[in-house]
Amino acid sequence: MAVTIPLKEFAERRRKLMDRMAPDSIAILPAAPERVRNRDVLHPFRQDSDFQYLTGFGEPEAVLALIPGREHGEAVLFCKERNPEKELWDGFLVGPEGAIERYGFDDAFPIADIDDILPGMIEGRSRVYYPLGKDPAFDNRVMDWLKVIRSKVRSGAHPPGELVALEHLLHDMRLYKSAAEIKVMAKAGQISAEAHCRAMRRARQGGYEYNLEA
C-alpha cells in the first residue's frame, strides 16, 4: 500500500506559512525546471523540495503564489494547460482546472499567462517572499515584474517595498515532521535498505557500478 501525504496537509502547510507572513505580502515559489541531458533528451524530473512541500504538485513549469487576504483565493497555481497531443508523448498534465479539483488550490491559471496576471497580484503588496538566487532565469522574471510595477508609480501603482528570502520562514516549518511525513520517511528508508541489500547480493569482484545499475 502506497504511503502518501494527504492533500489537506499541503493546504495546512500553506496556511501556516501565510500566517507567518507579514500583512499585505505575497510569496512566490517556482517549480523545479526540467534539465536537458543531451539534444531532446531530458534528465528524470525531480520536483523542487520546497515546492513539493507546499503543493504536492509534480509537474515542471509551475509557479505557486500565496496571497493572504486575496478575495478570489489565497493559494494560486500557475501551470501548463492540458494538451492531448503533447500528452501522448510527454505524459498526462493536470491543467489549471485539475489543479483546483485534484490539489485543492483556490485558483489556477495557465503558466503562459503569468506575465499578464502575476504582476497585478504583486502590485499593492508591501513585501515579496521569494527564494532569490535559486533559479537565476526566474530571478530575472521576478525583477522584470517589479520593474513593470515601478514604471507605473506615477499612475498610482504601489510596488513592494521589500524582497525577503522565503527560506527563512519555510525551512523552519520543514524542521518539524508530521505523522504522515514520518511514515513516508520510514517507507523510503525501508525501500532504500532493501535496494542496498539487493545490490550487495549481486556485487561481484571486478564489477562496475553500471553493472549493478542495470
Express each pLDDT in 82-111 by its tens digit.
Answer: 999 989 988 899 999 999 999 999 999 999
- Specify burial of residue 164 (Cβ count, 10 A radius: 0-12, 13-18, 19+): middle
- Distance, in Å, from the CA atom of 82 to the CA atom of 96, rounded to the nearest integer, reads 8
- For the cut 90, the answer to whether the pLDDT of residue 180 exceeds it is yes
- Average pLDDT score over residue span 39-64: 94
The C-alpha cell at 170 is: 519555510
Query: Does 1 reside within a domain?
Result: no
Nearest to 106 by CA among 85, 69, 76: 76
Same domain as 194, residue 162: no
- Specify burial of residue 27 (Cβ count, 10 A radius: 0-12, 13-18, 19+): buried
- Distance, in Å, from the CA atom of 122 to the CA atom of 26, rounded to the nearest integer, reads 7
Same domain as 108, residue 16: yes
Same domain as 198, residue 168: no
Same domain as 140, residue 204: no
Same domain as 197, residue 214: yes
Banded pLDDT at 1 (limits 50, 70, 90): low
- Average pLDDT score over residue span 104-132: 97
CB 74 within 8 A of CB 67: yes
Same domain as 187, residue 83: no
Total domains in the chain come to: 2
- Distance, in Å, from the CA atom of 198 to the CA atom of 27, rounded to the nearest integer, reads 44
Same domain as 17, residue 79: yes
Beta-ladder partners of 129: 27, 164
Query: Does 36 reside within a domain?
Result: yes
* Domain span at 83: 7-175
Banded pLDDT at 40 (limits 50, 70, 90): confident
Query: Does 34 reside within a domain?
Result: yes
- Average pLDDT score over residue span 110-126: 97
- Distance, in Å, from the CA atom of 59 to the CA atom of 55, rounded to the nearest integer, reads 11
Same domain as 90, residue 49: yes
Same domain as 199, residue 112: no
